């Protein structure tokens, strides 16, 4: 079923003016960052660090098809000296496993992001689950904000990356405990190329990210995630530093 325009909010702007500014209330403010190891969360991680937060990064193993992103996330956090936990929640795989991202027997769709060919990549209620755990961790360590990398390009396909979802989770997080936690998505209205431009302005090395839905030696270059990433680099007029599979190397 395809969403109607009423249910598919569009990003208000594709440029830097769509990026939410980060502020810290004091010099000791803590933040939890949901960090997958991909481009978006990598940029969010660095923005939180540069804003002065004491960052506690959380990565989740929920039964995804490969662990390349998680390995990348661990390596980056070790290099940065950032507190990092990889949380193993694979026990829930049987509850949310009906997705091409979690079921290796399903064919991974190729092509650009749209509701027709990429719906198979939706993991049921993923961000609600991950944010709920991140909020609990934030309360446990005395942090009052959780960051995640939802962006404007996700709105068509992923309901849990839309502004209404962020607003709703924020409302719940404010009353779910005696210690309210804020959900922050600084790129909620920004495009992928705006995120990349922001990261490049910080001098970030995107060779330290993994975006491909497949976990091969090389990024496939064909899945929707790869194609969106490559398009963002093309918009910036630079080459992606990741190695991509030549056609003869692709399975």
Give the residue-averaged pLDDT of 122-137.
87
52 in a known ligand binding site:
no
Answer yes or no: is pLDDT of 124 > 80. no
pLDDT over 50 (residue 7)? no
Question: Residue 14: its pLDDT value, please?
Answer: 45
Question: Per-residue pLDDT for 237 more than 90?
Answer: yes
> Which phi-psi region, left, alpha or beta, contains residue 142 (left: φ > 0; alpha: ψ -120 to 50)?
left
Which pLDDT belongs to residue 161? 87
Predicted pLDDT of residue 216: 82
* Eight-class DSSP state of 10: P
Is 38 annotated as ligand-binding?
yes
* Mean pLDDT score, 192-199: 96
Confidence label for 3 from pLDDT (cuts 50, 70 and 90): very low
* Residue 13 known to bind ligand: no
Confirm whether residue 145 is marked as ligand binding.
Answer: no
DSSP letter string, 67-133? -HHHHHHHHHHHHHT-EEEEEE-GGGHHHH--STTT-TTSPPPBSS--TTTSGGGPPTTHHHHHHHH
> Would you say how long the chain is, in residues?
251
Pick the more confident residue, 225 or 122. 225
Q: What spatial distance separates the first Cα and last Cα of the chain, rounded to whole Å?
A: 30
- pLDDT average, residue stretch 228-246: 93
Reduced to 3 states, what is the DSSP secondary structure of residue 242? coil
49 is in an annotated binding site: no
Contact 138, 174 (CB under 8 A): no
Average pLDDT, whole number, for the chain? Answer: 83
* 156 annotated as ligand-binding: no
To the question of whether residue 12 is assigned a binding role by annotation, the answer is: no
The answer on whether 77 is annotated among ligand-binding residues is: no
Give yes or no for residue 139 having a pLDDT over 90.
Answer: yes
| pLDDT at residue 108 is higher than 70 | no
Higher pLDDT, 62 or 173: 173
Residue 149 has pLDDT above 50, yes or no: yes
Confidence of residue 168 (pLDDT cuts 50, 70, 90): very high
Structure tokens at 195: 């995120």
pLDDT mean over 95-104: 57
Is there a contact between 8 and 156 (Cβ–Cβ < 8 Å)?
yes
Q: Is 82 annotated as a binding residue?
A: no
Asked if residue 195 has pLDDT above 60, the reply is yes
39 assigned to a ligand binding site: yes
What are the pLDDT digits (tens) for 11-62? 334 455 567 777 666 656 999 999 999 999 999 999 999 999 999 999 999 8
Q: Please check whether residue 187 is in contact with residue 48, taking contact to mean a CB–CB distance below 8 angstroms.
A: no
pLDDT score at 13: 41
Residues of the chain above pLDDT 70, percent: 76
Greater confidence (171 vs 91) lies with 171
Residue 158: pLDDT above 90?
no
Locus of tokens 């922050």: 184
Residues 43 and 41: their CA atoms lie apart, in Å, by 5
Token pair, residue 85, equals 């936990």
To the question of whether residue 45 is assigned a binding role by annotation, the answer is yes
What domains are there in the chain, each with its CATH number? Answer: 22-211 (3.40.50.620)
């Amino acid at each position: 079923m395809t969403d109607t325009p009423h249910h598919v909010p569009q990003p208000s702007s594709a440029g830097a003016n769509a990026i939410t500014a980060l502020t810290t209330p004091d010099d000791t403010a803590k933040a939890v960052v949901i960090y997958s190891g991909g481009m978006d969360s990598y940029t969010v991680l660095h923005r939180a660090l540069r804003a002065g937060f004491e960052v506690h990064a959380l990565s989740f193993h929920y039964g995804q098809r490969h662990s390349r992103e998680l390995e990348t996330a661990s390596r980056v956090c070790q290099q940065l000296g950032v507190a990092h936990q990889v949380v193993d929640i694979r026990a829930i795989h049987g509850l949310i496993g009906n997705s091409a991202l979690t079921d290796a027997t399903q064919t991974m769709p190729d092509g650009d992001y749209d509701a027709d060919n990429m719906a198979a990549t939706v993991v049921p209620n993923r961000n609600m689950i991950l944010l709920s755990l991140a909020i609990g961790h934030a309360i446990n360590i005395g942090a009052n904000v959780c960051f995640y990398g939802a962006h404007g390009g996700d709105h068509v396909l992923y309901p849990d990356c839309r502004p209404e979802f962020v607003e709703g989770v924020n409302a719940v997080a404010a009353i779910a405990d005696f210690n309210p936690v804020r959900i922050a998505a600084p790129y909620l209205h920004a495009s992928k190329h705006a995120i990349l431009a922001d990261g490049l302005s910080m001098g970030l090395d995107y060779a330290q990210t993994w975006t491909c839905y497949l976990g091969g030696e090389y990024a496939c270059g064909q899945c929707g995630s790869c194609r969106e990433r490559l398009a963002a680099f093309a918009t910036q007029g630079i080459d992606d530093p990741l190695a991509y599979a030549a056609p003869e190397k692709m399975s």
